[in-house]
Chains A and B, each alone.
Chain A
Protein backbone atom coordinates (compact mmCIF):
# COMPACT_ATOMS: atom_id res chain seq x y z
CA UNK A 1 0.00 0.00 0.00
CA UNK A 2 1.23 3.41 -0.80
CA UNK A 3 0.51 6.66 0.97
CA UNK A 4 1.12 8.58 -2.24
CA UNK A 5 -1.16 8.28 -5.24
CA UNK A 6 -4.39 10.13 -4.89
CA UNK A 7 -4.63 9.97 -1.12
CA UNK A 8 -5.36 13.05 0.96
CA UNK A 9 -2.26 14.71 2.30
CA UNK A 10 -1.49 13.84 5.87
CA UNK A 11 -1.33 17.26 7.44
CA UNK A 12 1.17 17.17 10.24
CA UNK A 13 1.44 19.89 12.80
CA UNK A 14 4.54 21.58 14.12
CA UNK A 15 3.91 22.24 17.82
CA UNK A 16 4.98 25.49 19.48
CA UNK A 17 8.48 25.43 20.87
CA UNK A 18 8.72 23.87 24.31
CA UNK A 19 11.43 22.32 26.44
CA UNK A 20 10.37 18.95 24.99
CA UNK A 21 10.86 20.04 21.39
CA UNK A 22 14.23 21.51 22.27
CA UNK A 23 15.25 18.25 23.95
CA UNK A 24 14.21 16.33 20.84
CA UNK A 25 16.33 18.69 18.76
CA UNK A 26 19.33 18.18 21.05
CA UNK A 27 18.89 14.44 20.83
CA UNK A 28 18.68 14.30 17.03
CA UNK A 29 21.68 16.60 16.52
CA UNK A 30 23.62 14.31 18.89
CA UNK A 31 22.31 11.16 17.21
CA UNK A 32 23.35 12.39 13.77
CA UNK A 33 26.93 12.78 14.99
CA UNK A 34 26.80 9.27 16.44
CA UNK A 35 25.50 7.77 13.21
CA UNK A 36 28.14 9.55 11.18
CA UNK A 37 30.91 8.49 13.54
CA UNK A 38 29.74 4.90 13.47
CA UNK A 39 29.73 4.83 9.67
CA UNK A 40 33.19 6.37 9.51
CA UNK A 41 35.24 3.23 10.14
CA UNK A 42 38.61 4.67 9.06
CA UNK A 43 38.15 7.39 11.65
CA UNK A 44 37.42 4.84 14.37
CA UNK A 45 40.52 2.83 13.46
CA UNK A 46 42.71 5.93 13.29
CA UNK A 47 41.43 7.14 16.62
CA UNK A 48 42.35 3.81 18.21
CA UNK A 49 45.78 3.71 16.58
CA UNK A 50 47.27 7.06 17.47
CA UNK A 51 47.24 6.71 21.28
CA UNK A 52 48.95 3.34 20.87
CA UNK A 53 51.84 5.06 19.16
CA UNK A 54 52.28 7.40 22.09
CA UNK A 55 51.95 4.72 24.71
CA UNK A 56 54.00 1.95 23.15
CA UNK A 57 56.47 3.66 20.85
CA UNK A 58 57.00 7.03 22.51
CA UNK A 59 56.54 5.74 26.07
CA UNK A 60 58.72 2.68 25.61
CA UNK A 61 61.42 4.56 23.70
CA UNK A 62 61.66 7.41 26.17
CA UNK A 63 61.14 5.14 29.17
CA UNK A 64 64.29 3.17 28.32
CA UNK A 65 66.35 6.13 29.51
CA UNK A 66 64.22 7.68 32.24
CA UNK A 67 61.71 7.04 34.98
CA UNK A 68 59.81 9.73 36.90
CA UNK A 69 60.52 7.84 40.17
CA UNK A 70 61.96 4.44 40.94
CA UNK A 71 58.48 2.93 41.26
CA UNK A 72 56.83 4.47 38.20
CA UNK A 73 57.23 3.23 34.65
CA UNK A 74 57.20 6.21 32.24
CA UNK A 75 54.43 4.54 30.26
CA UNK A 76 52.22 4.45 33.33
CA UNK A 77 53.07 8.08 34.01
CA UNK A 78 52.21 9.02 30.41
CA UNK A 79 49.04 6.95 30.35
CA UNK A 80 46.68 9.65 31.75
CA UNK A 81 48.35 12.25 29.55
CA UNK A 82 47.86 10.14 26.43
CA UNK A 83 44.26 9.52 27.42
CA UNK A 84 43.73 13.27 27.76
CA UNK A 85 45.55 13.95 24.50
CA UNK A 86 43.51 11.46 22.50
CA UNK A 87 40.31 12.87 23.95
CA UNK A 88 41.45 16.43 23.32
CA UNK A 89 42.05 15.95 19.61
CA UNK A 90 38.98 13.84 19.01
CA UNK A 91 36.71 16.31 20.75
CA UNK A 92 38.14 19.30 18.99
CA UNK A 93 37.86 17.73 15.55
CA UNK A 94 34.33 16.53 16.26
CA UNK A 95 33.38 20.12 17.04
CA UNK A 96 34.98 21.03 13.71
CA UNK A 97 32.14 19.23 11.95
CA UNK A 98 30.21 22.46 12.50
CA UNK A 99 32.56 24.11 10.02
CA UNK A 100 32.00 21.25 7.57
CA UNK A 101 28.26 21.56 8.01
CA UNK A 102 28.48 25.20 7.14
CA UNK A 103 30.69 24.61 4.13
CA UNK A 104 28.46 21.86 2.75
CA UNK A 105 25.22 23.67 3.46
CA UNK A 106 23.67 21.35 6.03
CA UNK A 107 24.01 24.10 8.63
CA UNK A 108 21.17 25.97 6.94
CA UNK A 109 18.80 23.10 7.53
CA UNK A 110 19.46 23.56 11.25
CA UNK A 111 19.50 27.35 11.21
CA UNK A 112 15.96 27.68 9.81
CA UNK A 113 14.40 25.15 12.15
CA UNK A 114 12.03 26.43 14.84
CA UNK A 115 14.34 25.46 17.69
CA UNK A 116 16.59 27.39 20.01
CA UNK A 117 20.03 27.81 18.53
CA UNK A 118 21.44 26.75 21.88
CA UNK A 119 19.73 23.37 21.43
CA UNK A 120 21.78 22.80 18.29
CA UNK A 121 24.97 23.91 20.03
CA UNK A 122 24.31 21.63 23.00
CA UNK A 123 23.52 18.70 20.70
CA UNK A 124 26.80 19.29 18.87
CA UNK A 125 28.73 19.55 22.15
CA UNK A 126 27.21 16.30 23.41
CA UNK A 127 27.98 14.59 20.12
CA UNK A 128 31.63 15.61 20.24
CA UNK A 129 31.87 14.76 23.91
CA UNK A 130 30.48 11.26 23.30
CA UNK A 131 32.97 10.65 20.50
CA UNK A 132 35.73 11.93 22.77
CA UNK A 133 34.59 9.60 25.53
CA UNK A 134 34.71 6.70 23.13
CA UNK A 135 38.28 7.67 22.31
CA UNK A 136 39.25 7.97 25.97
CA UNK A 137 37.74 4.59 26.74
CA UNK A 138 39.76 2.88 24.01
CA UNK A 139 42.91 4.22 25.63
CA UNK A 140 41.66 3.22 29.06
CA UNK A 141 41.11 -0.29 27.76
CA UNK A 142 44.71 -0.79 26.60
CA UNK A 143 46.33 0.64 29.76
CA UNK A 144 46.78 -2.89 31.11
CA UNK A 145 49.22 -3.61 28.29
CA UNK A 146 51.66 -1.01 29.63
CA UNK A 147 51.20 -2.12 33.22
CA UNK A 148 48.58 0.27 34.53
CA UNK A 149 47.21 -1.23 37.73
CA UNK A 150 43.40 -1.31 37.46
CA UNK A 151 40.69 -1.14 40.04
CA UNK A 152 36.97 -0.71 39.57
CA UNK A 153 36.92 2.56 41.47
CA UNK A 154 39.80 3.91 39.38
CA UNK A 155 38.00 3.06 36.13
CA UNK A 156 34.78 4.69 37.29
CA UNK A 157 36.53 7.84 38.50
CA UNK A 158 38.55 8.09 35.28
CA UNK A 159 35.35 7.72 33.24
CA UNK A 160 33.80 10.60 35.15
CA UNK A 161 36.88 12.74 34.67
CA UNK A 162 37.01 11.88 30.98
CA UNK A 163 33.38 12.96 30.63
CA UNK A 164 34.11 16.37 32.17
CA UNK A 165 37.20 16.77 29.99
CA UNK A 166 35.34 15.75 26.82
CA UNK A 167 32.52 18.16 27.49
CA UNK A 168 34.88 21.06 28.19
CA UNK A 169 37.10 20.54 25.16
CA UNK A 170 34.19 20.02 22.79
CA UNK A 171 32.61 23.21 24.07
CA UNK A 172 35.80 25.12 23.36
CA UNK A 173 35.90 23.49 19.93
CA UNK A 174 32.27 24.44 19.26
CA UNK A 175 33.00 28.03 20.26
CA UNK A 176 35.91 28.18 17.83
CA UNK A 177 33.96 26.41 15.07
CA UNK A 178 30.99 28.76 15.39
CA UNK A 179 33.23 31.80 15.05
CA UNK A 180 35.18 30.48 12.10
CA UNK A 181 34.14 30.31 8.47
CA UNK A 182 36.50 27.94 6.70
CA UNK A 183 38.04 24.61 7.47
CA UNK A 184 41.56 25.92 6.76
CA UNK A 185 41.10 28.54 9.44
CA UNK A 186 39.85 25.86 11.80
CA UNK A 187 42.99 23.80 11.19
CA UNK A 188 45.06 26.88 11.98
CA UNK A 189 43.21 27.13 15.27
CA UNK A 190 44.35 23.61 16.10
CA UNK A 191 47.91 24.90 15.87
CA UNK A 192 47.14 28.07 17.81
CA UNK A 193 44.95 26.65 20.56
CA UNK A 194 45.12 22.89 20.79
CA UNK A 195 48.85 22.25 20.43
CA UNK A 196 49.82 24.78 23.14
CA UNK A 197 47.04 23.45 25.36
CA UNK A 198 48.38 19.97 24.92
CA UNK A 199 52.06 20.78 25.49
CA UNK A 200 51.41 23.02 28.49
CA UNK A 201 49.07 20.57 30.19
CA UNK A 202 51.73 18.31 31.65
CA UNK A 203 50.41 15.40 29.61
CA UNK A 204 53.99 14.49 28.70
CA UNK A 205 56.01 15.71 31.72
CA UNK A 206 55.65 16.33 35.47
CA UNK A 207 54.60 19.87 36.40
CA UNK A 208 56.77 20.15 39.51
CA UNK A 209 60.27 21.59 39.36
CA UNK A 210 59.70 23.56 36.13
CA UNK A 211 61.31 26.96 35.45
CA UNK A 212 58.98 29.70 36.73
CA UNK A 213 57.87 31.02 33.33
CA UNK A 214 56.83 27.57 32.20
CA UNK A 215 55.23 26.70 35.53
CA UNK A 216 53.11 29.86 35.32
CA UNK A 217 52.01 29.13 31.76
CA UNK A 218 50.98 25.58 32.62
CA UNK A 219 48.79 26.91 35.45
CA UNK A 220 46.76 28.95 32.96
CA UNK A 221 46.01 25.94 30.77
CA UNK A 222 42.58 24.47 31.61
CA UNK A 223 43.76 21.10 30.31
CA UNK A 224 46.31 21.00 33.15
CA UNK A 225 43.43 20.63 35.58
CA UNK A 226 42.01 17.73 33.60
CA UNK A 227 45.26 15.78 33.22
CA UNK A 228 46.32 16.16 36.86
CA UNK A 229 43.32 14.49 38.52
CA UNK A 230 43.56 11.56 36.12
CA UNK A 231 47.27 11.21 36.76
CA UNK A 232 46.84 11.36 40.52
CA UNK A 233 44.13 8.73 40.24
CA UNK A 234 46.32 6.37 38.22
CA UNK A 235 49.47 6.91 40.29
CA UNK A 236 47.59 6.38 43.53
CA UNK A 237 47.28 2.77 42.35
CA UNK A 238 51.05 2.37 42.15
CA UNK A 239 52.48 0.99 45.39
CA UNK A 240 54.88 3.27 47.25
CA UNK A 241 53.85 6.44 45.40
CA UNK A 242 52.49 9.62 46.97
CA UNK A 243 50.23 10.68 44.13
CA UNK A 244 49.53 14.07 45.72
CA UNK A 245 53.22 14.92 45.34
CA UNK A 246 52.55 15.13 41.58
CA UNK A 247 49.59 17.47 42.05
CA UNK A 248 49.43 20.91 40.54
CA UNK A 249 50.27 23.61 43.06
CA UNK A 250 49.61 27.33 43.23
CA UNK A 251 52.66 28.85 44.99
CA UNK A 252 53.15 25.77 47.10
CA UNK A 253 49.44 24.98 47.75
CA UNK A 254 48.36 21.72 46.14
CA UNK A 255 45.10 22.36 44.27
CA UNK A 256 42.37 19.94 45.43
CA UNK A 257 41.02 17.60 42.78
CA UNK A 258 37.45 18.86 43.22
CA UNK A 259 38.59 22.40 42.46
CA UNK A 260 40.57 21.22 39.44
CA UNK A 261 37.55 19.47 38.00
CA UNK A 262 35.44 22.51 38.84
CA UNK A 263 37.81 24.67 36.78
CA UNK A 264 37.52 22.31 33.79
CA UNK A 265 33.75 22.14 34.05
CA UNK A 266 33.43 25.91 34.39
CA UNK A 267 35.63 26.43 31.33
CA UNK A 268 33.29 24.15 29.38
CA UNK A 269 30.14 25.86 30.56
CA UNK A 270 31.49 29.33 29.77
CA UNK A 271 32.69 28.24 26.32
CA UNK A 272 29.33 26.66 25.56
CA UNK A 273 27.43 29.74 26.70
CA UNK A 274 29.60 31.95 24.49
CA UNK A 275 29.16 29.53 21.60
CA UNK A 276 25.36 29.59 21.99
CA UNK A 277 25.36 33.34 21.99
CA UNK A 278 27.57 33.58 18.92
CA UNK A 279 25.53 30.92 17.12
CA UNK A 280 22.28 32.75 17.79
CA UNK A 281 23.61 35.77 15.96
CA UNK A 282 24.44 33.93 12.74
CA UNK A 283 22.24 35.02 9.88
Chain B
Protein backbone atom coordinates (compact mmCIF):
# COMPACT_ATOMS: atom_id res chain seq x y z
CA UNK B 1 0.00 0.00 0.00
CA UNK B 2 1.27 3.47 -0.85
CA UNK B 3 1.72 5.63 2.22
CA UNK B 4 0.66 9.25 2.21
CA UNK B 5 4.26 10.40 2.33
CA UNK B 6 5.32 8.21 -0.57
CA UNK B 7 2.39 9.44 -2.58
CA UNK B 8 3.31 13.09 -2.06
CA UNK B 9 6.97 12.35 -2.81
CA UNK B 10 5.83 10.72 -6.04
CA UNK B 11 4.48 13.97 -7.44
CA UNK B 12 7.86 15.65 -8.15
CA UNK B 13 9.11 12.27 -9.34
CA UNK B 14 6.29 12.13 -11.89
CA UNK B 15 7.15 15.70 -12.82
CA UNK B 16 10.79 14.86 -13.45
CA UNK B 17 9.73 11.85 -15.50
CA UNK B 18 7.70 14.18 -17.66
CA UNK B 19 10.70 16.53 -17.91
CA UNK B 20 13.02 13.74 -19.03
CA UNK B 21 10.47 12.50 -21.53
CA UNK B 22 10.29 15.76 -23.43
CA UNK B 23 13.27 17.69 -22.12
CA UNK B 24 14.14 19.10 -25.50
CA UNK B 25 10.85 20.88 -25.95
CA UNK B 26 10.43 22.29 -22.45
CA UNK B 27 11.02 25.87 -21.38
CA UNK B 28 13.88 26.87 -19.07
CA UNK B 29 13.98 27.26 -15.26
CA UNK B 30 13.13 23.79 -14.06
CA UNK B 31 13.96 22.03 -10.86
CA UNK B 32 11.42 23.33 -8.36
CA UNK B 33 7.97 21.95 -7.63
CA UNK B 34 6.45 25.19 -8.96
CA UNK B 35 8.30 24.76 -12.23
CA UNK B 36 7.19 21.15 -12.44
CA UNK B 37 3.55 22.25 -12.25
CA UNK B 38 4.14 25.02 -14.78
CA UNK B 39 5.76 22.40 -17.03
CA UNK B 40 2.67 20.24 -16.67
CA UNK B 41 0.51 23.22 -17.68
CA UNK B 42 2.87 23.95 -20.57
CA UNK B 43 2.73 20.36 -21.83
CA UNK B 44 -1.07 20.20 -21.43
CA UNK B 45 -1.52 23.48 -23.33
CA UNK B 46 0.78 22.38 -26.13
CA UNK B 47 -1.46 19.38 -26.55
CA UNK B 48 -4.68 21.45 -26.47
CA UNK B 49 -3.18 23.97 -28.90
CA UNK B 50 -1.58 21.41 -31.21
CA UNK B 51 -3.61 22.69 -34.16
CA UNK B 52 -2.57 26.29 -33.43
CA UNK B 53 -6.06 27.78 -33.00
CA UNK B 54 -6.41 31.56 -32.98
CA UNK B 55 -7.67 33.44 -29.96
CA UNK B 56 -11.04 35.14 -30.33
CA UNK B 57 -11.08 38.31 -32.35
CA UNK B 58 -13.73 40.96 -31.76
CA UNK B 59 -15.39 43.61 -33.89
CA UNK B 60 -13.99 47.14 -33.59
CA UNK B 61 -17.09 48.21 -31.62
CA UNK B 62 -15.82 46.08 -28.72
CA UNK B 63 -12.60 48.12 -28.32
CA UNK B 64 -12.41 49.44 -24.76
CA UNK B 65 -11.73 53.08 -23.95
CA UNK B 66 -8.66 54.08 -21.96
CA UNK B 67 -6.81 50.79 -22.34
CA UNK B 68 -4.58 50.72 -19.24
CA UNK B 69 -0.92 51.58 -19.72
CA UNK B 70 1.16 50.03 -16.95
CA UNK B 71 4.83 49.66 -16.03
CA UNK B 72 7.01 51.91 -18.21
CA UNK B 73 4.95 54.52 -20.04
CA UNK B 74 7.65 56.86 -21.36
CA UNK B 75 11.26 55.61 -21.33
CA UNK B 76 13.54 58.36 -20.13
CA UNK B 77 16.72 57.37 -21.95
CA UNK B 78 18.16 60.16 -24.12
CA UNK B 79 18.38 57.83 -27.10
CA UNK B 80 14.69 56.92 -26.87
CA UNK B 81 13.60 60.52 -26.45
CA UNK B 82 15.78 61.49 -29.44
CA UNK B 83 14.18 58.77 -31.60
CA UNK B 84 10.72 59.81 -30.43
CA UNK B 85 11.41 63.45 -31.30
CA UNK B 86 12.38 62.33 -34.80
CA UNK B 87 9.16 60.38 -35.26
CA UNK B 88 11.17 57.13 -35.04
CA UNK B 89 12.55 57.73 -38.55
CA UNK B 90 16.02 56.83 -37.21
CA UNK B 91 14.72 53.84 -35.21
CA UNK B 92 16.17 50.46 -36.19
CA UNK B 93 15.31 46.99 -34.98
CA UNK B 94 18.34 44.66 -35.12
CA UNK B 95 17.50 40.99 -35.71
CA UNK B 96 20.51 38.87 -34.91
CA UNK B 97 21.64 35.37 -34.03
CA UNK B 98 20.68 32.25 -35.94
CA UNK B 99 19.52 33.99 -39.08
CA UNK B 100 20.96 33.87 -42.57
CA UNK B 101 20.72 37.64 -42.99
CA UNK B 102 21.21 39.63 -39.76
CA UNK B 103 19.23 42.78 -40.40
CA UNK B 104 18.38 46.17 -38.96
CA UNK B 105 14.78 46.90 -39.86
CA UNK B 106 13.44 50.42 -40.02
CA UNK B 107 9.85 51.20 -39.08
CA UNK B 108 9.11 51.91 -42.76
CA UNK B 109 10.46 48.49 -43.78
CA UNK B 110 8.39 46.76 -41.09
CA UNK B 111 5.32 48.58 -42.35
CA UNK B 112 6.07 47.49 -45.92
CA UNK B 113 5.54 43.82 -44.98
CA UNK B 114 2.06 42.31 -45.24
CA UNK B 115 0.30 43.41 -42.06
CA UNK B 116 -2.25 41.82 -39.78
CA UNK B 117 -4.89 43.67 -37.76
CA UNK B 118 -6.62 41.93 -34.86
CA UNK B 119 -8.99 43.07 -32.12
CA UNK B 120 -8.11 40.94 -29.11
CA UNK B 121 -8.39 40.89 -25.36
CA UNK B 122 -5.30 41.72 -23.30
CA UNK B 123 -5.24 39.59 -20.14
CA UNK B 124 -3.14 41.22 -17.46
CA UNK B 125 -1.63 38.95 -14.82
CA UNK B 126 -3.09 41.34 -12.21
CA UNK B 127 -6.61 40.27 -13.15
CA UNK B 128 -7.98 43.02 -15.36
CA UNK B 129 -8.57 42.66 -19.08
CA UNK B 130 -9.23 45.10 -21.91
CA UNK B 131 -9.80 44.91 -25.64
CA UNK B 132 -7.77 46.72 -28.30
CA UNK B 133 -7.05 46.57 -31.98
CA UNK B 134 -3.45 45.83 -32.90
CA UNK B 135 -1.82 46.24 -36.30
CA UNK B 136 1.58 44.83 -37.11
CA UNK B 137 3.64 42.24 -38.89
CA UNK B 138 3.37 38.60 -37.84
CA UNK B 139 6.71 37.78 -36.23
CA UNK B 140 6.90 34.62 -38.34
CA UNK B 141 6.88 36.76 -41.50
CA UNK B 142 9.83 38.81 -40.21
CA UNK B 143 11.76 35.66 -39.21
CA UNK B 144 11.15 34.29 -42.69
CA UNK B 145 12.49 37.51 -44.16
CA UNK B 146 15.79 37.27 -42.26
CA UNK B 147 16.16 33.57 -43.04
CA UNK B 148 15.84 31.85 -39.67
CA UNK B 149 18.23 28.87 -39.53
CA UNK B 150 16.84 25.38 -38.94
CA UNK B 151 18.52 24.97 -35.54
CA UNK B 152 16.78 28.10 -34.18
CA UNK B 153 14.49 27.30 -31.23
CA UNK B 154 13.87 30.54 -29.35
CA UNK B 155 13.37 34.19 -30.12
CA UNK B 156 14.71 36.57 -27.46
CA UNK B 157 13.35 40.11 -27.18
CA UNK B 158 15.12 43.04 -25.56
CA UNK B 159 13.46 46.36 -24.83
CA UNK B 160 14.43 50.00 -24.48
CA UNK B 161 13.67 49.93 -20.75
CA UNK B 162 15.88 46.92 -20.05
CA UNK B 163 13.31 44.12 -20.03
CA UNK B 164 13.85 40.92 -21.92
CA UNK B 165 11.85 37.79 -22.55
CA UNK B 166 11.71 34.92 -24.97
CA UNK B 167 9.31 32.73 -26.93
CA UNK B 168 9.81 29.32 -28.43
CA UNK B 169 8.92 28.78 -32.07
CA UNK B 170 5.47 27.35 -31.26
CA UNK B 171 4.37 30.77 -30.04
CA UNK B 172 6.78 32.90 -32.10
CA UNK B 173 5.40 31.53 -35.37
CA UNK B 174 1.72 31.69 -34.35
CA UNK B 175 -0.19 33.88 -36.84
CA UNK B 176 -1.41 36.25 -34.09
CA UNK B 177 2.05 36.85 -32.63
CA UNK B 178 2.78 40.32 -33.93
CA UNK B 179 5.41 43.01 -33.94
CA UNK B 180 2.71 45.65 -33.55
CA UNK B 181 3.19 49.26 -34.62
CA UNK B 182 -0.47 50.30 -34.63
CA UNK B 183 -3.16 50.42 -31.95
CA UNK B 184 -6.86 51.15 -32.45
CA UNK B 185 -6.24 52.42 -35.98
CA UNK B 186 -3.44 54.84 -35.06
CA UNK B 187 0.31 54.71 -34.51
CA UNK B 188 1.20 52.76 -31.38
CA UNK B 189 1.20 55.37 -28.56
CA UNK B 190 4.34 55.93 -26.47
CA UNK B 191 2.56 54.71 -23.34
CA UNK B 192 1.85 51.40 -25.06
CA UNK B 193 5.37 50.74 -26.31
CA UNK B 194 6.03 52.89 -29.40
CA UNK B 195 7.23 52.38 -31.98
CA UNK B 196 6.93 48.59 -31.81
CA UNK B 197 5.64 46.19 -29.18
CA UNK B 198 5.11 42.48 -29.11
CA UNK B 199 1.67 40.83 -29.04
CA UNK B 200 1.53 37.26 -27.71
CA UNK B 201 -2.18 36.63 -27.54
CA UNK B 202 -2.30 33.16 -25.97
CA UNK B 203 -0.35 34.18 -22.87
CA UNK B 204 -0.76 36.74 -20.11
CA UNK B 205 0.03 40.36 -20.90
CA UNK B 206 3.50 40.34 -19.41
CA UNK B 207 4.78 38.33 -22.38
CA UNK B 208 3.74 41.13 -24.78
CA UNK B 209 6.77 43.35 -24.26
CA UNK B 210 6.60 47.04 -25.04
CA UNK B 211 9.42 49.11 -26.63
CA UNK B 212 11.07 46.18 -28.45
CA UNK B 213 14.63 47.25 -29.30
CA UNK B 214 16.45 44.07 -30.35
CA UNK B 215 15.58 40.54 -31.41
CA UNK B 216 17.96 37.63 -31.03
CA UNK B 217 17.26 34.21 -32.53
CA UNK B 218 18.93 31.38 -30.63
CA UNK B 219 18.98 27.63 -30.02
CA UNK B 220 19.42 27.88 -26.24
CA UNK B 221 18.46 30.20 -23.41
CA UNK B 222 20.90 29.16 -20.71
CA UNK B 223 23.55 31.53 -22.06
CA UNK B 224 21.16 34.46 -22.55
CA UNK B 225 21.33 37.05 -19.75
CA UNK B 226 20.87 35.18 -16.45
CA UNK B 227 19.79 31.97 -18.19
CA UNK B 228 16.21 31.98 -16.89
CA UNK B 229 14.62 32.82 -20.24
CA UNK B 230 12.93 36.01 -19.07
CA UNK B 231 13.39 38.98 -16.79
CA UNK B 232 10.15 37.97 -15.05
CA UNK B 233 11.76 34.86 -13.55
CA UNK B 234 13.52 37.12 -11.04
CA UNK B 235 10.06 38.21 -9.82
CA UNK B 236 8.69 34.68 -9.64
CA UNK B 237 6.77 34.92 -12.92
CA UNK B 238 6.51 31.73 -14.92
CA UNK B 239 8.29 31.77 -18.30
CA UNK B 240 5.23 30.17 -19.85
CA UNK B 241 2.18 32.32 -19.13
CA UNK B 242 -0.66 30.48 -20.84
CA UNK B 243 -1.89 29.67 -17.27
* A and B pair up: no
A residues in contact (CB < 8 Å) with B: none
